[in-house]
Chain A
Amino acid sequence: MFIWAANGESMRTYNKVTPEGTKDLLFEECLIHRAVERKLTAVFAARGFHEVVTPGMEFMDVFDPEVSGIAPEIMYKMSDRRGRLIVMRPDSTMPIARLAATRLQKEEKPLRLYYTQRIYRNHPNLTGRSDEVLQAGVELLGAGGKRADLEAICTAVESLLSCTPDFRLELGHAGFFRAIADGLPITADQREEIRSLIESKNYAALESLLDGLERTPAVEAMRRLPRLFGGEEVFAQAAPLCGSEEAAAMLEYLHSLYKSLSALGLGNRLMVDLGLVQRNDYYTGVVFSAYAQDCGDAILLGGRYDNLLGRFDLPMPAIGFSVNVDAVVKLLAEQGYAPECSRPEVLVYGCPGHEVKALLYASGVTSQGGSCETSVFETEEESIEYARRRGIPNVAIVGQSVKEYSLADNTEIGGDQA
C-alpha cells in the first residue's frame, strides 16, 4: 500500500541548510566574535587564569540533572560504540569540575581556570534561541570566602567592561530562599511551588498560596521575597524579615560584598535581587548576573558552588561565571561596533615562467608584516582588473624584474631589480 507522507520528510535532503538554532558566521561577524573573545580572555589571562579546553562531547553522567539543573531533554544525545550515552557539552562548569577533581587533583590550589567554548542545548523550535552558544568564563576552584568571591566578581566586571560600559550587575544569594523556606511548615512540593512562583515573580499566586498558611514571620518574609530587588535599600528592607541567624548572616555577608564592590567604583552598576531562586542548580552562595539594555537575557551568569566538586569526589569550594559571548557580540553590533575586514595592500602577479619567484616575493611581503594576495589569474590584465574590483590598492608584477605600483595613480612605489 502506498502511504502518502504529508510532510514528505523521508524524501527531503538537508544539504543546503544548517539545523535550527545554528548559523554560519561570516567575515565581519567572525572579526567581532574574535575581538570579544580576545578582550575577555585578555582580562582572564592578565588576572592569572589559565586556559583549558574540555571535549565537545562528554558522558551524560557528567551532567547529572539532579546536580546540574540541566533537564535531560534539552541535551543533544548520542551513544558511543559501547552504547553509553554521550551528550554534546551543554555547560562548561560541570566538565571543568570533573577535570579539576581528576587530572588536577594534586595541583596547587586554588586552581584558576578559564575557557572559551561553545555549549549546546536543544531549545524548542522556532523561538529564535540559539542551540549553540559561545561562552567565555572563569572558574576559581579550591577557594572559599569573601576574597575569592570578590576576585571572581571583579574579574567578571573587568572582563565585561573591556567590551561594553553599559551593563548592570546583580547580586543574590542562593542560600537565602533556602534559609527562609526552612522556617516554613511546608511539604517539598509546596516548597517547589513557592520557589517557582518567586522565580517568576508571580506575586498574586504566591500570596494566595501563602494565605493558606499560618501568618508567621517566615511566611511574611516569603511574601516579600520576590519584591526584594533593587539598590542598596533592599538590605534595610530585608533585615527585619530574616527569621533565622543563618538568613541574617547571609544578608549581612551580601551587604558587605555590595559595599566592597561599591568601593571599587561599581556603585551605580550594582543591583540586588534576593528573589533569585533557580531550580536545582549547583549554586550555594553568592550568585551574580549582568544585564544590558536591549538584551532580554542576562549576558553573564555566575556564582559560588561549594558542593559541586564533592560530586566528583574531591570536595572543595569554588566560584565561577560565564559570559554569553554571542549576546555581547550582538550588543556591540547594535551599538555600531563594526570591525572592517582588512584588504591586502598588494596583489602579486607572477608573469609566465616567474610563478615561483612571485610566491617568494609574496612571502617576503608577509614576513615583513605586510599583507598580500597572490594572483591566480593567467594574465597581467586579468590580475589588474581583479585588483581594481576588489579594491586592492597596489599590484606587484613579478617578471625579470619586479614592478610594484599604485593602481590609483600608476606611480611606481617599489619593487626591486631581479
Chain B
Amino acid sequence: MKPLRIALTKGRLEKDTVALLDRIGYDCEAVRNKGRRLILPVGDRLEVVLAKAADVITYVEHGVCDMGVVGKDTIMEHGTSFYEVLDLGFGRCRFALAAPKGSDFWSGYSSRTIATKYPAVARAFFESRGMDVDIIKIEGSVELAPLLGLSDAIVDIVETGTTLRENGLEIVEEVCPISARLIVNVASMKLRKNEIESLIAQMEREKGGTARD
C-alpha cells in the first residue's frame, strides 16, 4: 500500500502539525531537516508534502494528496469539495472588519469600499448583510489601503490586533474565528477509511484542548 500523503501549509501550520505528528509517534526528522525537498517520508506509512495554503486545497481536492492541513481562512476563500474532518486547534486568529479609529462604518448610505486579501470572504460577509460594497483586492499589507484613502475599511485576518492599533485602525466587527483544519479527499476517505480514521483519532486525542468552531 502506498503511504498516506498529507499536504501541510508551509510555515507555522507546518511546524505545529509536525509537532503534533511527533507527539503521536511519527518520526518527523526528515521534515525538520528537509533542505529544499518538498516531499518527505515520515516513517513508511506517511508522506509529507509542503505547499502554499491555497495549493494544499488544490492538491487534496484533486486527490494527489489524501489529506491536508490548512487554515479555515484559506478554506473560506478557496474552499470547494473535500471533507473538513478536524479542527486542529492551532493557528488561531479571526477574520475581522476594521476601519480607521473613530469612523462610523455603518452610518450613512454611501456605498463603501473594502480592501482585502480575501475577496470571496469579504463578498460573502457583506452579502449576508444585504450590503453592496466595492471590493478591491490587495496583495500585501491591507492596512495601507484605508490609510492611503483607497478604501473605507478592510477585511483581514487579525491575531493580536497590534498591527491594526499601530496603524490607527480598530475592529468594527468580527467576521468569524479561524484555526487550522485537517481536510481529506472524498475518494481517499472512502478507499482508505481505516488508516485515515485512525490518524484522525490519534490527532484528535493529542491536539490538546477541545477546540471547536
**B190 engages A229 (CB within 8 Å):** yes
Q: Given the complex of chains A and B, what is the CA–CA distance between A171 and B85 in angstroms?
A: 21
Q: Given the complex of chains A and B, what is the CA–CA distance between A356 and B206 in angstroms?
A: 83
**B186 engages A204 (CB within 8 Å):** no
Most A CB within 10 A of own CB, among B82, B85, B184? B85
Give the chain A neighbours of B191 by CB distance below 8 A: 168, 291, 293
> Which one of A259-267, A295-303, A308-316, A335-343 is at the interface?
A295-303
Q: Whole-angstrom distance from the CB of B59 to the nearest CB of chain A?
A: 9
Chain A 6-29 against B: per-residue CB contact (8 Å), 1 yes, 0 no?
Answer: 000000000000000000000000
Task: Enumerate B70-121 residues with CB–CB distance to A below 8 Å.
Answer: 80, 82-87
Q: Whole-angstrom distance from the CB of A237 to the nearest CB of chain B?
A: 13
**B190 engages A203 (CB within 8 Å):** no
Task: Enumerate A179-217 residues with CB–CB distance to B below 8 Å.
Answer: 200-205, 207-209
Number of interface residues of A (CB under 8 A): 25
Which single residue of chain A is at the shortest CB-CB distance from B61?
A: A296
**Which of A168, A201, A205, A297 sits near B213, CB closer than 8 Å?**
A205
**A202 engages B212 (CB within 8 Å):** no
Task: Enumerate B38-69 residues with CB–CB distance to A below 8 Å.
Answer: 58, 61-64
Task: Enumerate B184-213 residues with CB–CB distance to A below 8 Å.
Answer: 184-191, 193, 211-213
**Which of B84, B185, B193, B212 sits near A296, CB closer than 8 Å?**
B185
Give the chain A neighbours of B83 by CB distance below 8 A: 200-202
Q: Whole-angstrom distance from the CB of B41 to the nearest CB of chain A?
A: 19
- For chain B, what secondary structure do more than half of its interface residues adopt (helix, strand, loop), or is it mixed? mixed
Most A CB within 10 A of own CB, among B86, B187, B213? B187
Give the chain B neighbours of A127 by CB distance below 8 A: 58, 61, 80
**A291 engages B187 (CB within 8 Å):** yes
Q: Given the complex of chains A and B, what is the CA–CA distance between A293 and B66 in angstroms?
A: 11
Q: Given the complex of chains A and B, what is the CA–CA distance between A295 and B62 in angstroms?
A: 8
Give the chain B neighbours of A200 by CB distance below 8 A: 82-84
Give the chain A neighbours of B87 by CB distance below 8 A: 204-205
**A208 engages B212 (CB within 8 Å):** yes
**A201 engages B84 (CB within 8 Å):** yes
**A297 engages B86 (CB within 8 Å):** no
Which single residue of chain A is at the shortest CB-CB distance from B212?
A: A208
Give the chain B neighbours of A271 by CB distance below 8 A: 190
Chain A 280-309 against B: per-residue CB contact (8 Å), 1 yes, 0 no?
Answer: 000000000001111111100000000000
Give the chain B neighbours of A128 by CB distance below 8 A: 58, 62
Q: Whole-angstrom distance from the CB of A9 to the nearest CB of chain B?
A: 18
Which single residue of chain B is at the shortest CB-CB distance from A289?
A: B190
Q: Given the complex of chains A and B, what is the CA–CA distance between A170 and B80 in angstroms?
A: 22
Which single residue of chain A is at the shortest CB-CB distance from B189?
A: A201
Q: Whole-angstrom distance from the CB of A81 to the nearest CB of chain B?
A: 34
**A297 engages B190 (CB within 8 Å):** no
With A127-B80, A296-B187, A297-B187: A204-B61 Cβ-Cβ less than 8 Å: no
Task: Enumerate B150-207 residues with CB–CB distance to A below 8 Å.
Answer: 184-191, 193
Give the chain A neighbours of B84 by CB distance below 8 A: 200-202, 205
Q: Given the complex of chains A and B, what is the CA–CA distance between A97 and B85 in angstroms?
A: 37
Q: Given the complex of chains A and B, what is the CA–CA distance between A92 and B80 in angstroms?
A: 23
Most B CB within 10 A of own CB, among A201, A291, A294, A297? A201
Give the chain B neighbours of A297 by CB distance below 8 A: 63, 186-187
28 chain-A/chain-B pairs, Cβ below 8 angstroms: A127-B58, A127-B80, A128-B58, A128-B62, A168-B190, A200-B83, A201-B83, A201-B85, A202-B83, A202-B84, A202-B213, A205-B213, A207-B212, A208-B212, A209-B213, A229-B193, A230-B193, A271-B190, A291-B186, A291-B187, A291-B190, A291-B191, A292-B187, A295-B187, A296-B188, A297-B186, A297-B187, A298-B186
Interface residues of B (CB under 8 A from A): 58, 61-64, 80, 82-87, 184-191, 193, 211-213
